[in-house]
Amino acid sequence: MKTRSNYWQLLPYIQPQWQTITKGFIGILGYVLATLTLINLAGKLAVPFGDGNVVAIAQIAGICAVVFLVRGFFQSVQDIYMAQAALRVAFNLRKQVYAHLQKLNLSYFETAKAGDLSYRLTEDIDRVGEVVNKIFHDFIPCVLQLLAIPIYMICLNWQLTLATVIVAPLMGILIGWFGERLQKYSRRSQNRVSTLSAILTEVFSGIRLVQAFAAENYEIARFSREAERSLKAKYSAERLKAIQIPIVGFLEAVSALSLLMVGGWQISQRNLTVGEFFSYLAAAALLIDPIGHTTNNYNEFKQGEASVDRVFELLAIQPTVLEKPNAIVLPPVQGKVEYARVAFAYKPGEPVLKDISLLALPGEAIALVGASGAGKTTFVNLLPRFYDPVSGQILIDGVDIRDVTLHSLRRQIGIVPQETIMFSGTIAQNIAFGQDSFEMSAVEAAAKIANAHQFISQLPEGYDTWVGERGVNLSGGQRQRIAIARAVLLNPQILILDEATSALDSESEALVQEALERLMQGRTVLIIAHRLSTVRRCDRILVLEQGQMVESGTHEELLELHGRYARFYAQQFS
């Protein structure tokens, strides 16, 4: 979603830093006043230079040294406080964007590229912070100098000032023209880098598959093509800046030559003294630096504007699953789950679930079976409101789940997925995931129920063992038992088991199945399973086909029907 492309969007993040910015602004004013004092002193040096008065020269030079020292002090003040404000702006923006992403729905993350999101949260926001810092500690001082010094110059001699700034409009037009094109090239370059980042994330997370398919050369070629596009996009921006610099430099030289010519004529006409001309030259010389900085800053601002756009594009994305303003906290539940004529579609006109109803009583274990794409995972994903149905209701203990807060709903539903996600941290922290504080005794008790305590205790550092990235130093069965321990510690009354044993060997499956049976006791359970051996003892088995419930009953009842379930069973146990 395209957002308005300008820095005014940052104003809500800048306003809270007004006290820090005010302190920095005092430093800026002191710096500019000291600069004007130096210009005035430069003019006073002309007379003693002409007279050879060494004492007077030394006195004025000494005063200049003190003023330089004061100027440096004020520059430090402005830099320190403005940098602090800019860093805080970037920090608050990054924190809000991350918090906003946490609230977006699964549907967004199913299409978004992880590398691109990471780049926007890191590189793009860092660039925004750098630009804000430039505005505070460099651009604003330069603008004030460009206002104060020309006023001083006009008061000194307006004809000279006219000669100096005669090319300024042309320079402004050129700078604006170059800036607009730099913004376009920079956005293209940043998009290319984001794509590169996304490729790296995909490949490094799936390196086993890349090597298994001997696809290294394929990936190298794919990366090289994208890197070449990134290079071309960056080169376009650098080439434009390389063209801009000599053009602006030539115009500055023309302005300086005009100054010398008009200045010499003014002195010859007795309209200007040598001392005043010295002072004027000093002012013109001190204008060169802020002009150059302003030009460069403008280019950087246009490049940074692309980052601002990319960051605020994320903030403009709105979640589709929203809490009602008057949402209530779901009280501790008994576990009665009801789907009342529920229908769902990811895309309009392409239904995934059609008019499904289900009543699961507290403590019942309900299994969902069916071919891939039948809608099993979608069915269970509606319960914690990862998505909302397009029609119908889902109720827990008679309460519509759309009337309660998401936090209170999801904290009462435990999920053991097919592929366990491990986070950076210790094993204990992974078991207690999502809990700010926990007791080790509770973690160990949960691990024992999950058949995980034994293997954890044998690790060099036990529960304090650091889990590697994505838990690659643990086996699939070990990761799955940690996921079960995680659900045990949460102690939910409703449990979702999503293919929890499908990818395990026989020994691991037996340990995990035993842990799951302990976990399921006294809870309402929805089980997705391809292995029908894991659902025989369920209270009810639902067979889904093309989004519809086509059969329902116990294992024995469904076998007697000689329908779809019986065929699935025969295929697995023939």
DSSP letters, 105-134, are -HHHHHHS-HHHHHHIIIIIHHHHHHHHHH
Decide if 133 contacts 83 (C-beta within 8 A).
Answer: yes
Count of C-beta atoms within a 10 Å radius of residue 54: 10
Indicate the angle between helix axes 274-316 and 216-268, nearest 10 degrees: 150
404 vs 381: CA distance, rounded Å? 17
State if pTM tops 0.75: no
Count of C-beta atoms within a 10 Å radius of residue 128: 26
- If you classify domain 7-191+234-316 with CATH, what class do you get? mainly alpha
Max CA separation in the chain (angstroms): 120
Domain map (residue ranges) of the chain? 7-191+234-316, 333-412+493-574, 420-491
User: Residue 508's pLDDT is what?
Assistant: 66
Tokens of 350: 């392409």
Strands (E), 287-396: 337-347, 350-360, 365-369, 391-396
34 vs 31: CA distance, rounded Å? 5
- What residues in the chain have per-residue pLDDT under 70? 1-6, 43, 46-47, 49-52, 163-176, 179, 183, 205-206, 208-213, 245, 248-249, 251-261, 263-264, 267, 272, 274, 288, 468-472, 500-509, 533, 573-574
Hey, what's the torsion of the CAs at 153, 155, 156, 162, to 10 degrees? 50
392 vs 341: CA distance, rounded Å? 5
pLDDT tens sequence across 399-434: 999 999 998 998 899 888 877 777 778 889 888 888
Q: Phi and psi at residue 393, in whole multiples of 5°?
A: -130, 150
CA torsion through residues 409, 412, 416, 422, sign: positive
Q: How far is CA 373 from CA 78, 95, 377, 380, 568, in A?
A: 61, 37, 9, 13, 15
Do the domains 7-191+234-316 and 333-412+493-574 sit in the same CATH topology, yes or no? no
Considering the segment(s) 333-412+493-574 as one domain, its CATH architecture is 3-Layer(aba) Sandwich (3.40)
Indicate the angle between helix axes 274-316 and 168-205, nearest 10 degrees: 40
Cα angle 110-111-114, degrees, rounded to a multiple of 5: 85
Q: Residue holding tokens 């020269």? A: 57
Pairing of strands 466-467, 494-498: unpaired
**Residues pairing with 571 in the sheet:** none
Instruction: Say whether 499 sits in a helix, a strand or coil.
Output: coil
Q: Phi and psi at residue 306, in whole multiples of 5°?
A: -65, -40
Tokens of 322: 């929203």
User: Residue 1's pLDDT is what?
Assistant: 42
| CB crowding 240-249: b at 16 or more within 10 Å, else e | beeebeeebe
User: Residue 359's pLDDT is what?
Assistant: 93
pLDDT tens sequence across 121-135: 888 888 888 888 888
Strands (E), 384-447: 391-396, 399-400, 413-416, 425-426
Burial classification of residue 462, based on how many CB atoms lie within 10 Å of its CB (0-12 exposed, 13-18 middle, 19 or more buried): middle
Residue 243 CB contacts under 8 Å (≥ 6 apart), including other chains: 178
On whether the 420-491 domain is CATH 1.10.3720.10, my answer is no
User: Residue 229's pLDDT is what?
Assistant: 81
H or E stretch at 410: helix 406-410
